[in-house]
Amino acid sequence: MYLIKSVTELLQYSDQLQSMSDTALLDTELLLCFTLDVDRTWLKTWPDHQLETAQIKQFETLFSRRLKGEPVAFIIGRQGFWTLDLKVSADTLIPRPETELLVEIALGLDAPKAARVLDLGTGTGAIALALASERIDWQLTAVDSQMAAVNLAEINRQHCQLDNVSIYQSDWFSQVPGSGAAAQYHLIVSNPPYIEINDPHLSEGDVRFEPTTALVSGQDGLDDLKIVIGQSPMYLRPNGHLLVEHGYQQGTAVRSLFTTAGFTAIATHADYNGLERVTLGRFPETA
Ligand SMILES: C[S@@+](CC[C@H](N)C(=O)[O-])C[C@H]1O[C@@H](n2cnc3c(N)ncnc32)[C@H](O)[C@@H]1O
């Protein structure tokens, strides 16, 4: 049978998503936009536009993946972060809006015009590329342990046309290029894995589709934060800053790790839900 449905009729599919997604209508709009290769304004402008059978089938295939819980970003292969449109894949984390707080704080720091900045665990490149897009004189180095993530970040770097970012594979600091001053940074930023291995949330929602390499960090979720915070002083210039994202219940533990590592001016910022999310500290100039 030759089937025709309008934009409005297809958006009503969102009712089926209500119980599993807080953004049911938005999810449905994004899947329809992807099917038709249009933006959301177009959908609102042409609510009576009729889709043909092949388009409806394509949309329904995408929609059934979302009904099974797959994140929209993985279905359409893209996610907005800061002002950037990033390619995403199942090799790393989908960039989260909470992480934009870390970008905002980093941009507010008193850094030199041509600051050297290191992003540890870059994933899609989200943090490094957002900073590079706002500060074209900053020199960004971004690393990830997963080669697939390094390749993805490089694709995003090229798509965003940002020449002030270099991306490498490295297990935290182990393969960070350069030596001496060339391996020292005015600012180190990181959103490392920080979820406890037995956290029940790992079997719920979008995170089921993301790799454990991007999420899980030992029994208490602090294994990677301990490495990043403990080793950063060796890679920071005098008065350099370290800025990390962490779980909302990890603020006290993270501030204590900063203190033990010798940082001063330690402060934690809350995200837009009022939850402790980003901690920073300054590494003091040695006497
Ligand atoms: C929580 S994700 C953050 C991704 C990205 N920075 C963001 O904010 O969207 C953590 C990232 O750290 C990477 N990672 C995990 N262990 C690592 C290690 N030992 N060395 C470097 N990167 C690591 C993962 O592959 C993943 O891409």
Q: Which of 90, 78, 64, 3 is nearest to 33 (CA)?
A: 78
Task: Provide the CATH number for the domain formed by 5-69 in this structure.
Answer: 1.10.8.10
Domain chopping of the chain, boundaries:
5-69, 87-282
- Angstrom distance (rounded) from CA 269 to CA 147: 31
Mean pLDDT in order along the chain per 10 residues (287 residues)? 85 96 96 97 96 95 96 97 97 96 97 97 98 98 98 98 98 89 91 97 92 97 98 96 98 98 98 96 78
Q: Is the CB of 192 under 6 A from ligand 1?
A: yes
* Residue 11: predicted pLDDT: 97
Q: How far is the CA of 224 from the centre of ligand 1 (A)?
A: 9
* Residue 177: predicted pLDDT: 87
Domain 87-282 has CATH 3.90.320.10: no
- Structure tokens, 278: 């980003």
Q: Is the CB of 146 under 6 A from ligand 1?
A: yes
Q: How far is the CA of 119 from the centre of ligand 1 (A)?
A: 9
Give Rg (Cα) of the chain: 21
- Angstrom distance (rounded) from CA 190 to CA 108: 16
Q: How far is the CA of 72 from the centre of ligand 1 (A)?
A: 21
Do 123 and 109 meet the contact criterion of CB atoms below 8 Å apart?
A: no
* Residue 205: predicted pLDDT: 87
- Structure tokens, 235: 């890679």
Do 169 and 143 meet the contact criterion of CB atoms below 8 Å apart?
A: yes
